[in-house]
Amino acid sequence: MQRSPEPAVTNGPGPPVAIVVAPTHALTGTLVAMDARQSYDPAGGRLTYRWRQTGGPRVTKYSIDERLGDTVPAFTPEEPGLYSFSMSVFNGTIGSEPIDIDVEVAAAPLVTPPSPVDSEPESGPRRVPELTPRPNPAPAPTSFPKPEIEPMKVRPAARVLHGARRTRGGGETGINGN
């Protein structure tokens, strides 16, 4: 009879924790970032990040910010659909539970330029309106009349004493009226 080995008992703080902040909806052609910077190791170990695409249209355009490394990968979806990813962190000894991330991508609205006002109907060729030059406006004046400025009337400044004020009779009183 073979005896199975005893399970390893760990008294440490536990496995690392994976946390991802990502949008749930996006438009085609826009950058979608998945931020895992809040992930942590309770023991204070350094983490490595493992990202995997698990479903949806294949991501072909992705980027990783050199300053942030693989903690904030981003991608640009080229077609609508549900893009699914999985992420886990590893501290060199043990890994976290994987987190599933789903981003529903819709087609970005098409922006069409406005048609000219005097265009032909859709079935015929489009006519481009002719541009007619406008006459130059009158040249700007080189000198302006000087406005008349009235001299300011300056009143003598009142003498201010800390904690005192001047009364109508010309005497000074303290803060409490003494």
What is the pTM for the complete model shown? 0.56
- Is residue 176 in some structural domain? no
Residue 107 CB partners (closer than 8 Å, separation 6+) = 27, 28, 79, 80
**Residue 28 in contact with residue 80, Cβ under 8 Å?**
yes
Domain residues for the domain of 55 are: 25-106
Tell whether 88 is covered by a domain: yes
| Count of structural domains, the chain | 1
DSSP 30-77: S-EE-B-TT-B-TT----EEEEEEEESSPP--EEE-TTTGGGSEEE--
- For residue 46, being part of any structural domain is answered with yes
Select from 11, 14, 37 the least CA-distant residue to 91.
Answer: 14
In a domain, 19, yes or no: no
73 lies in a domain?
A: yes
Residue 100's pLDDT is 96
pLDDT for 176 equals 47
Residue 129 has what pLDDT?
Answer: 62
Give the domain CATH number at 93.
2.60.40.10
Domain contains 68: yes
The tens place of each residue's pLDDT in the chain, 178 residues long, gives: 333 344 344 556 899 999 999 999 999 999 999 999 999 999 999 999 999 999 999 998 777 777 777 889 999 999 999 999 999 999 999 999 999 999 999 999 887 777 666 555 555 566 666 666 666 666 655 665 665 656 655 555 544 444 444 555 555 544 444 4
> CA nearest 17: which of 90, 101, 68?
90
With contact defined as beta carbons under 8 Å apart, do 107 and 80 qualify?
Answer: yes
pLDDT (0 to 100) of residue 162: 47
